[in-house]
Amino acid sequence: MTISFEVAHTDIMGRVGRLRVGDRTVRTPALLPVYNPHLQIVKTSEMARMGAEAIITNAYSLSRSQEFRERAAYEGLHRLLDFEGVIMTDSGSFQLSVYGDIEITNQETLAWQQEIESDIIVPLDIPTHPDAPRDQAESDLHTTLARLREATALYGEGGRVAGPVQGGSFPDLREAAGRQVRAMGFSFCPVGAVVPLMENYRYAELVTVVLAAKRGIGAGACVHLFGAGHPMVFALAAAMGCDVFDSAAYALAAREGRYLTPDGTLHLNELHDLPCACAVCRGYTAREMSDAEDREHLLAHHNLAVSFAEIAKVRHAIYEGTLWDLVDARCRSHPALLKGYRALLGRTGDLEVSDPVSKRRFFYRGSESCARTEVMRYHRLIARLQIGRRCLVAMAPHPPHGFDEVLLFRPPFGPYPQALSETFPIGQSEIPAWDPDMVRSGCAGIRSLVESHPDSTLTVWCTSRWAPFLREELPGIEVVCGDI
């Protein structure tokens, strides 16, 4: 039995794909609810009805369970948990990072997960805390990689073992870890030890760490963002090329009376209405839910339902080529997410390779949109335009005659020839009234045109309103006002 992954659609670095594990298939991006047979807040049958094609459970706590240990070994996980889809097991490394010590070796956990017929086995990797110093991150990574090597020696390259990518907060270590894990043959690669970053809203660092890991892993493997369970991060994480998420958040939040939404967490007590389409929220008032005896179950059901709906939304956005719109919307719900979004926009070089050259639309949503992949790519395309010797960029109506070439202007992209007016992104862009940010970005396009065409002379034709601004932005370029 092996794990394989194929990609059908991409948008930014996000992918819609299929993860195959033996004869089971999971559509990605996928959410794996964490299932704890000791608690059973939401049953596996209910998870399957909500769309779960895979779940994750903790192999370590099963191995220590009076109640389930023998049955797990005897019946196998699928019967024990009554779930037909993919079952991934975690080794207990997370316990290691939270509680310090666990009493199991790498070989023991691998053998145990094999014995209970887990579909995706996780070795005893060592999650390095994001604040740990470099020597710690290096030595933890060294141990993790040795344990992965041990797993491949036992079960063969590319078996059903996951290859966690560690390396702490050091991008070069993350990248090297990703490369080595891939070189060992792993095609399912969780990015580990990011839970403390997400818990503390350190999204800019999350972006740095994940993109570094992705540079090492490359496009061929399925990437799991370990411990990412809040629906508000799915769009951002998917845009970085994360394909799998796992959620304990739905249950942890429910225990504390917290109501998850794709825009953040609310407390049930502060809700007057239940702003969600799931069966629970339409069947109860906020008050009824709050007073219900099975409140925890109702909340957990809702939390999981919104999480699956958000995954569906992410998949839909990738199909449609509108993932930037979703990322933009989600990341405006919290200032820390906005920092993560801006960090992502700062790495368009990483993102452009997989971002489609043509999409359904480009919707301008403020200054962040100026840094999007489509704008950066257009600015480079400008260098390849063939233009005449005397060229006018018409930013105002009724341009004068006598030029070899008249280009039009569409911010945030910049100058374009009439021939490109129907093609993406010019023809499919929805741009509101001009603002300084978008015009500044368009000016970068004009400068790109000038730098790449030294034999042409360029004149900009504009209204008096924009002339001073353009003269600032375009030093050395002739700017002529059309309305005075």
As measured in angstroms, the least distance from the Cβ of 263 to ligand GUN is 24
Shortest reach from residue 134's CB to ligand GUN, in Å: 18
Residue 280 CB, nearest distance to Zn ion (Å)?
Answer: 5
Print the binding letters for residues 192-211 with ligand GUN: x by CB under 6 A, - otherwise. Answer: xx-x----------------
Residues 270, 286: Cα–Cα separation, whole Å: 9
CA distance 293 to 241: 41
Residue 248 CB, shortest distance to Zn ion, in Å, is 18
By CB under 5 A, residue 281 contacts Zn ion: yes
Edge-to-edge strand list for the sheet holding 14-21: 3-11, 14-21, 24-28
90 touches which of Zn ion, ligand GUN, none (CB within 5 to 8 A by kind)?
Answer: ligand GUN
Residue pair 112/63 in contact (Cβ under 8 Å)? The answer is yes
Q: Is 434 helix (H, G, I), strand (E, B) or coil?
A: coil
Applying CB under 5 A, does 302 fall inside the site for Zn ion?
yes
Using the minimum distance from each CB to Zn ion, give the nearer residue, 282 or 384: 282
Query: CA-CA distance, 69 to 61, in Å (whole number)?
Result: 9
278 binds, among ligand GUN, Zn ion, none (CB under 5 to 8 A by kind): Zn ion
Does residue number 148 form part of the binding site for ligand GUN (CB under 6 A)?
no
User: What is the Cα–Cα distance from 257 to 444, expressed in whole angstroms?
Assistant: 50
5 touches ligand GUN by CB under 6 A: no
Which region, judged by CB under 6 A, interacts with ligand GUN, from 66-74, 188-196, 249-257, 277-285? 188-196
Question: How many residues interact with ligand GUN (rule CB under 6 A)?
Answer: 13
* Residue carrying the six token digits 């978008």: 438
Any contact of residue 163 with ligand GUN (CB under 6 A)? no
* CA–CA dist 424, 150 (Å, integer): 49
- Residue 322 as a binder of ligand GUN (CB under 6 A): the answer is no
- State the minimum distance, in angstroms, from the CB of residue 232 to ligand GUN: 18
Q: Is 164 in the site for ligand GUN (CB under 6 A)?
A: yes
State which H helix or E strand residue 5 sits in.
strand 3-11
Give the nearest residue (CB) to ligand GUN: 192
| In the complex, least distance from residue 91 CB atom to ligand GUN, rounded to whole angstroms | 5
Q: How many CB atoms lie within 10 A of CB 200?
A: 12
CB of 206 to ligand GUN, least distance (A): 13
Shortest spacing between CB 230 and ligand GUN, in angstroms: 13
Q: Specify the 3-state DSSP secondary structure of 17.
A: strand
Amino acid symbol at 158: G
Binding mask 259-278 for Zn ion (x = CB under 5 A): -----------------x-x
State whether the Cα torsion 109-304-2-80 is positive or negative: positive
Q: Which residues pair with 244 in a beta bridge?
A: 30, 224
In this structure, the strands spanning 54-58 and 30-33 are unpaired
Quick check: 77 and 118 in contact, CB under 8 A?
A: yes
Residue in 28, 57, 63, 91 binding ligand GUN, rule: CB under 6 A: 91
In three-state secondary structure terms, 13 is: coil
- Round to whole Å and give the CA distance between 37 and 25: 23
Q: In the chain, helix, strand, coil percent, each to 5? A: 45, 20, 35
227 contacts which partner out of ligand GUN, Zn ion, none, CB within 5 to 8 A by kind? ligand GUN
C-beta closer to ligand GUN: residue 226 or 324 = 226
C-alpha distance from residue 447 to each of 149, 405, 418, 441, 478 (Å): 51, 17, 19, 10, 12
> Which of ligand GUN, Zn ion, none has residue 204 at its interface (CB below 5 to 8 Å by kind)?
none
Stretch of 105-113, 190-198, 285-293, 340-348 contacting ligand GUN, by CB under 6 A: 190-198
* Cβ-based nearer residue to ligand GUN, 127 or 178: 127
The alpha-carbon radius of gyration of the chain (Å, integer) is 26
Q: Which is the catalytic residue, given 11, 90, 119, 243?
A: 90
By the rule CB under 6 A, 120 interacts with ligand GUN: no
Name the segment binding ligand GUN (CB under 6 A); options: 85-93, 151-159, 209-217, 463-471: 85-93
What residue type is 344 in one-letter code? L
Alpha carbon distance 173, 163 (integer Å): 15
Interaction between residue 303 and ligand GUN (CB under 6 A): no
90 is a catalytic site residue = yes
> Applying CB under 6 A, which residues contact ligand GUN?
90-91, 93-94, 122, 125, 127, 164, 192-193, 195, 226-227
> Applying CB under 5 A, which residues contact Zn ion?
276, 278, 281, 302
Active site residues: 90
